[in-house]
Amino acid sequence: MSKAKDLSNVPTNPSGFRNRIINGAFDVWQRGTSFSAAGFTADRWLIQTDGSGATRAITQQTFTPGNAITGYESIYHLRYSQSVAGTGATFNILDQRIEDVRTLAGQTVTVSFWAKAAANTTIDSSIQQSFGSGGSSEVAGLSSGTLTVTTSWQRFTYTGTLASISGKTVGANSYAAFRINFPLNATFTVDIWGVQVERGSIPNPFEQRPIGMELALCQRYFINIVEPSATTDFNIPLVRESATQGVATIFLPVTMRVRPSLVGSNIGRVVMRDTSFGTSVTSVSGITVSTSGPSLSCITLIIGHGSIGGGAVFAEWDILNTTTNLSFSAEL
């Protein structure tokens, strides 16, 4: 007779999936490595701010091997620097939106992250619950209170219980927002690394997932397809719809959260090959994502271009001596 297994000590969050934050080690930077305005920066990380006149830089910083945070060897961290204070700001936030407000609702949650500053700086952190379009009003969740960041790396942690969503209406694109609130109308430089949001009351060691897994998690929300060099063209089969429009199918590396929007493209021209192997060159007049594509991992692009005769077989998307990219966003 087999003996029943004791499952009382089996972890509720297996290794690799305990941390609800994606890219908490700032390993993935598909959009670039330096930013000067509000918007997405490192993958999944959003800067939100208002006011005017501030000069800011959000940059990828590299750890020196052997001199990183004690107990860890990581490659990158994020730096938020404001060299001109500006005026009128009422919020200045580094934000990650954890998909689905139901996530961790009503549960005890522990937040942890490392930070250091060029000079002593006060920040605070929180988790808010947003019920999305058509849902209930946002609910204030956990708060760290005031934190003093010094010139040495230190780990900050706080624990609390997120509100139950009982009686609430969950709308479209709901999320739980982890936020770090930076100083308003002031100059500062703060470095952040190792952000973790997990179930339970104990701040466990930071979970460093394999880079391939972390990249795939990021690509659920944003994918940037970049040519390998400035002398290489995209070669994508084209289905001709008219003399001035064709459609192309793009197979994405992962299934995205929702049908994505095309948010970045510096394609300058299309080179068409017709059925007689003739070549025609024309400018791109527009590229959109079809709303009737087959799935969220295989999308159809509608490509407008100048008039071309004959039967096009395929298109080369010419880079015009630059690096061509196609960027797709399914961010919350």
In the chain, where the domains are located: 34-219, 224-329
Identify the band that residue 154 occupies on the pLDDT scale cut at 50, 70 and 90: very high
pLDDT at residue 95 is higher than 50: yes
| pLDDT value, residue 9 | 41
Q: DSSP 3-state assignment of 217?
A: helix
- Strands 76-84 and 188-199, by their bridges, are antiparallel
What is each CA distance from 226 to 6, 86, 217, 321, 322, in whole angstroms? 50, 35, 18, 14, 11
- Strands 55-62 and 34-35, by their bridges, are antiparallel
Give dist(CA 7, CA 139) in Å, integer. Answer: 35
Mean pLDDT lowest for which of 73-77, 159-163, 226-230? Answer: 226-230
pLDDT at residue 11 is higher than 60: no
Q: What is the mean pLDDT of residues 192-209?
A: 97
Residues facing 155 on adjacent strands:
114
Percent of the chain with pLDDT over 70: 81
- Quick count: other Cβ atoms within 10 Å of Cβ 254? 15
CB 162 within 8 A of CB 105: yes
pLDDT at residue 268 is higher than 70: no
pLDDT at residue 193 is higher than 50: yes
Query: 220: which residues sit within 8 A by CB, 6+ positions away?
Result: 254, 255, 256, 257, 330
pLDDT tens string 250-267? 889 999 999 999 887 666
| pLDDT value, residue 2 | 46
Q: Dihedral sign for Cα 63, 224, 178, 10, please.
A: negative
Joined tokens for residue 194: 């190792």
Q: What is the mean pLDDT of residues 109-134?
A: 98
Q: What is the mean pLDDT of residues 270-286?
A: 69
- Quick count: other Cβ atoms within 10 Å of Cβ 222? 22
pLDDT at residue 12 is higher than 90: no
Give dist(CA 194, CA 72) in Å, integer. Answer: 10
CB 138 within 8 A of CB 130: yes
Residues facing 77 on adjacent strands:
61
pLDDT at residue 5 is higher than 50: no
**Higher model confidence: residue 14 or residue 123?**
123
| pLDDT value, residue 291 | 85
Give dist(CA 122, CA 254) in Å, integer. Answer: 39
CATH of domain 34-219: 2.60.120.260
Please report, as a single letter, which amino acid is at residue 182: F
pLDDT tens string 207-222? 999 999 999 999 999 9
Q: Dihedral sign for Cα 63, 64, 70, 71, please.
A: positive
pLDDT tens string 41-81? 999 999 999 999 999 999 999 999 987 788 899 999 999 99
- Alpha-carbon Rg for the chain, nearest whole angstrom, is 23
pLDDT tens string 282-329? 777 888 899 876 678 999 888 888 777 665 556 665 545 455 678 899
